[in-house]
Amino acid sequence: MNGPAAADVVVNGVRLHFRLDGPDGAPTVALVNSLGTDLTMWEPQIAALTQRYRVLRHDTRGHGRSAAPPAPYTMDMLADDVLGLVSHVGAARFHVVGISLGGLETLAIGLRRPAGLAGIAICDSRIDVPPEGAKAIDDRVRLVREQGMTPLAEAMIQRWFTPPTLAAKPAYLDSVRQMLLATSVEGFAGCAAAIKGSGLDARVAALRLPALFLVGDQDAALPVSLMQQVQSQVPGARSAVIPGAGHLSNLEQPAAFNEALLAFLDQVA
């Protein structure tokens, strides 16, 4: 497929919306979204990446313009969605980069090591689910099933971004809010189940390919020390810390995020 292009395709039994940008023949970078967002969350990365990479984005099942099959979903199911799209666009060699939920999908793909995968970047992704985390997931799913996404959206905005950003109120905060509000209840509940049941913390040490673990230094959901502890379990893995960034570090500090990501991609491309 020649880009740029935006289309819907049935992959892994579900209709997914995707977009492809960048030069034909370049290595492909698949960008995978956080819970409650759509493919537009990666806009601050596109100009930098498409100078030398072909960029594949999609709306996770249950999000954006993709279909929302009944919950629950599994992490392997979400990983298969990404790999199906990679195959659909004909990417012989590719990288996968994911943030939050997308980072968990990325790790699941990396553990599988499909042919052509050159490297992965796991960004602001907590791979363990302690008891309090599992309870929080259950509470949020119960809330959205009873009242929809509206009461949860503002709480997630407050949790994802740093106080200076919240005070400044940049335009992208409202964009993220609208993404959250547009997420289907089934999509949120399904992906939350995938997070809760992933079991990736017990498997991460088996990862054997180039990997970057990237985290914002003010991520309320993921202390830097915890991300670096996970990174230390993976032979040869790199780490990057983004100053002044919360949970969606690619939006809050895009220049620093792009620099760290491109340094990794260029080294393993």
**Domain count within the chain:** 1
Q: In the beta sheet, which residues pair with residue 77?
A: none
- Smallest CA-to-CA distance from 140 within 174, 113, 101 is with 101
**Beta strand residue intervals within the chain, DSSP E:** 5-11, 14-21, 28-32, 54-58, 94-99, 117-123, 211-216, 238-242
Residue type (1 letter), 70: P
* CA–CA gap between residue 198 and residue 2 (Å, rounded): 34
The most distant pair of C-alpha atoms in the chain lies apart, rounded to whole Å, by 47
* CA–CA gap between residue 228 and residue 230 (Å, rounded): 5
Tokens of 193: 């189940």
Burial class (CB in 10 A: 0-12, 13-18, 19+), 10: exposed
Q: What is the pLDDT of residue 7?
A: 95
Q: What is the pLDDT of residue 4?
A: 61
DSSP-derived letter for residue 36 is T
- Smallest CA-to-CA distance from 96 within 27, 35, 50 is with 27
Q: For residue 154, what is the enclosing H or E element?
A: helix 150-160
Tokens of 60: 């996770």
Structural domain boundaries enclosing 215: 5-268
Look up the CATH number of the domain holding residue 207.
Answer: 3.40.50.1820
- N- to C-terminal Cα separation, the chain: 21
**What are the phi and psi torsion angles at 37 (to 5°)?**
-125, 175
Q: What is the pLDDT of residue 1?
A: 46
For the chain, 269 residues long, give each residue's pLDDT as a single digit of tens.
444 689 999 999 999 999 999 999 999 999 999 999 999 999 999 999 999 999 999 999 999 999 999 999 999 999 999 999 999 999 999 999 999 999 999 999 999 999 999 999 999 999 999 999 999 999 999 999 999 999 999 999 999 999 999 999 999 999 999 999 999 999 999 999 999 999 999 999 999 999 999 999 999 989 999 999 999 999 999 999 999 999 999 999 999 999 999 999 999 97
